[in-house]
Amino acid sequence: MLPPFIRIFLVASALVALFATNGSAQTRRYRNEPVYAAQIADVPLQPFSLDRQTPRLASPMQVAYYTPRTVPRVQTVDQDEDNFQSSSRFESSGSHPMVHGDRAVLRHGIAYAPSNAPDRVKNAIWAVNSICGRPYIWGGGHGSFHDRGYDCSGTVSYALHYAGALNQPLPSGELTRFGERGHGRWMTIYSRHGHTFAVIAGLRLDTTDFRRGGDVGPSWHTDGRDTGGFEARHPAKL
């Protein structure tokens, strides 16, 4: 049998190795998906306001799809949001918050558009800010881009509309054929029959919140999600 002091040393060494491994795994969690290159459409836009009490303009058609509640593995994102924010330069001009650089940043649920992004991307981000916090409603955002609540495809359609890439809402199944195949430089739409979400300037736009669980309505997220089984598409030149 080993002397007591040797047994204590071996146990302590094992605990230190375990904590180091967990810390490394936690650090790897905060890395972002790559941003790629892409294309344009010219459609008239409806006005938006950051007033979250905007009345809906029409009742939704029941054409959206159920959002799966199973929580898949989470992809890594670039770096810890708080650390990223502390080193960023923010500008806020009413409903047009902006941060310098190529990547959007999330502060208190509001996305700050990156200064280097095209105006179409900035407009999409700022417009989506106006509907964040509205409830998840199956079929919401399909009778009109403006509704009291949204489902997954209604949310993504809203963002695409304000990016000048869509003139009417689409269900998730049709979004699998939207635009061009592959990842975009600024916007990527991930769709399958049953769910759709988007990554815009590094932030995930989704109605699924893995931290809170379930369908929560339009929200920005800094964490990624498994894209297995999804079709990646992007608007022309974006």
Q: How far is CA 36 from CA 20, 102, 188, 233, in A?
A: 33, 12, 9, 12
Instruction: Please check the confidence at residue 215 and state whether its pLDDT lies above 60.
Output: yes
As a whole number, mean pLDDT of residues 23-30 equals 38
**In the chain, domain spans:** 1-30, 33-234
Instruction: Please check the confidence at residue 39 and state whether its pLDDT lies above 50.
Output: no
Residue 212 has what pLDDT? 73
Residue 214 has what pLDDT? 76
Percentage of residues in the chain having pLDDT higher than 90: 55
For CA atoms 69, 74, 78, 80, the dihedral sign is positive
Whether the full predicted model's pTM is greater than 0.85, yes or no, is no
Instruction: Please check the confidence at residue 94 and state whether its pLDDT lies above 70.
Output: no
Is 23 exposed, middle or buried (CB count within 10 Å of its CB: 0-12, 13-18, 19+)?
exposed
As a whole number, mean pLDDT of residues 96-113 equals 95
Residue 92 has what pLDDT? 53
As a whole number, mean pLDDT of residues 129-148 equals 94
Q: How far is CA 231 from CA 43, 153, 175, 181, 195, in A?
A: 24, 14, 9, 8, 11
Residue 50 has what pLDDT? 54
Hey, what are 196's tokens?
A: 């759709």
What is the number of other CB atoms lying within 10 angstroms of the CB of residue 150?
Answer: 31
